Structure 1
Amino acid sequence: MIDELARAEGAVAACADAPAWALSEHDLIAVLDATHRLQQRLAAVQLAAVRELDGRGAAVAQGASSTAVWLRHRLRLDDAAARRLVGLAAALDVAPPAVRDALASAAVSAEQARVIADTAATVSAAADAEVTDKAVGVLVEWAGQFDPAVLRRLGARILDHVAPDLAEAAAAAAALAAEAARAARDRHVTISEQAGGCLRLSGILDAETAGLLRAAIDPLSAPAGPDDARGAGQRRHDAFADVCRLALRTGEVPDSGGDPAQVVITASYDALAAQVGAGTLDIGLQLTPDTVRRLACDAAVLPAVLGGAGQVLDVGRQRRLITGPLRRALVLRDGGCAFPGCDRPPRWCAAHHIRHWADGGLTSLDNAVLLCGHHHRHVHQADWVVRLGDDGHPEFIPPAWLDPDQLPRRNHYHRRT
């Protein structure tokens, strides 16, 4: 398989070097169709590899918390694309073989295959294997005419075409159960940093969570009065912030890395006193001086000013736990879990002694690194070596079985410079 893929890669590379401008319009269309077919066939091979790697637990063995996280790091995908790849591989794994065959033969696209696999799961809950196979055959045929969105709408009524006698009685309940299962599988919230010091919030909520969210923010997102110039989206944004503030004020939010849940702002004391210079949140985003001073006056927010004369970063052998000012300095340096490829934020992380405290290691910034729960266990159980590089940032040396050259690796998700 590897040799065949290498030959295919060479052929594609030769095509990439060929001048497209020299082709006629007819030939360009033929090239477009051929590349699309090749893309679907390659997707079938890639998804088979993902299914096998996921089943073997290869990603976790190499230190990743999940196959999606490993794929994101390995293939340099964004989080949504990595999750889609794993989800499609899982859906095809339990789908009738005809769905995988259709993708491998380029009769359907990868997204059409996902729609057909989902529809087949719904039909199988209401009918036998014969009806399910018939439904798959019809959908594969329709895939030659319709895009994934239209195909999904047609699939919702597929029993009307392949088993009319079952359509009324069983389809509704089966479809509802399948939709609930899909909602549970696809539920997620993604928070990604954007240019300009903002976060982008996106995701899919199941019905219950959607109800909770709307119940919480709808009353808070009503216009404040006739002079309220905020748009509906801005009002929902501000309502979401209010809900977060209310949650933090209850005191019932679980601790974060040994400290109470809180907003931590890091700033130079001199800059803060002079009302100049920005502050940095522990998630890496920066705040204006005015915002820093306003938040510093709020009793619900704990100011964390590093670098003052009274701030001790090396607490020596007398103290084992890495908390308070030392932890905040660690958050400022690492930005989150320092293990290569991990994007988990500081609040999900514990401080790990590079040289264990019981072995004489100091509780100091130079002997600590932030690790999420998964990677904290992994470092203790596996053969990874942790050290600080020449620039004072953590680096991880993989075991020889994973990388014979044992080249140091770093986390680049949290770097701010």
Structure 2
Amino acid sequence: MIDELAGAESAVATCTDASAWALSEGDLITALDATHRLQQRLAAVRLALVREVDGRGTAVAQGASSTAVWLRHRLRLDVAAARRLVDLAASVDAAPAGVRDALASGAVSLEQARVIADAVTAVQTVAGPEVADKAVGVLVEWAEQFDPTVLRKLSTRILDHVAPEMADAAARAALDAEAARATRDRHVTVSEQTGGRLRLSGTLDAETAALVRAAIDPLSAPSGPDDTRTPGQRRHDALADVCRLVLRTGELPEHGGDPAQLVVTTGFDELTRQLHAGALDVGLRLTPDTVRRLACDAAILPAVLGGAGQVLDVGRQRRLVSGPLRRALVLRDGGCAFPGCDRPPRWCAAHHIRHWADGGPTSLDNSVLLCGHHHRHLHQTEWAVRLGDDGRPDFVPPAWLDPDQLPRRNHYHRRT
């Protein structure tokens, strides 16, 4: 074997020195196919050697903690690749001989062999060695047409082709096992970062994943041609919109004796003059612009504070835009009123055209419905909104976008 491998290495070295540009198109493709087959055959040899090294305990005998760690050092692989190599060598060794033969003949790639070995091992456990041999033949045929990703999808239903009488029971068992794994592995981690930011990570089971996608995906689409947010930013804003909608329902359980709510503390003078920041009840600071935006459609709880910040008097909580006024606003605007936006009313907050903190009244003539994204956009940019002669909102773009600053309207929600 050593001599043969040395000869093969010498032949490959000769090919490395040859000029590919001199080949005709047909010879070029033929050489590429031959290289691919040779690569698969060498992979089969390497797997056999790795399996023998692992089986003999060579790595441990030489002081390594495992064969994967030994391979990482010996072949300069990363440890994940080394583990995959050891696992695949064991899988191929345990699978019917047809898997090794297919790889050794160059009929399948290393990744295809991995898929076939996994599928055949599962079939052998459920249906026995004879059915597993049939599965190898079918999967090797499919490997001539399909890449590893498609082959893996097809392999999940291999019993339909080689043992249909067992397929339904096996599929049910596989689903039950997957459901049990999903239930066990489900989690969401919330990690606090600097500046009040949170990092979310986790794994959702299939049902929850479908719920999240159903809620987030429609809200993650670009709101128009001027939407410059990245896909990740749009998903972030969609999650915020979902949370706002849930908080508006008032159906969340109480937390600490109070309804679920976002509490911001700021001084009235600071709010009206857009000075300083606000504070969340968890101690984090918000910019003046953010405080004013939140105050557009919030439950306001007036409080009189002494010079040292003591609470001297707390007023009665009242909703700024609610009841008949909000219903009238919904009937007039139909949803987010910003030009081109299709967000429905339930995703929208009421924006004061003249801010409440600046003396603007809480009335239909001083309100407009805006989704979360366009609410922020209006507060942070030079766009302006006003009511036209017919009482419907007109949006005036900044001069850099339209030098004529012609008013624009959202016609998406019009009923007539």
- TM-score, scaled to structure 2: 0.45
Structure of higher CA gyration radius: 2
Higher relative contact order (CA 8 A, sep 6+): 1
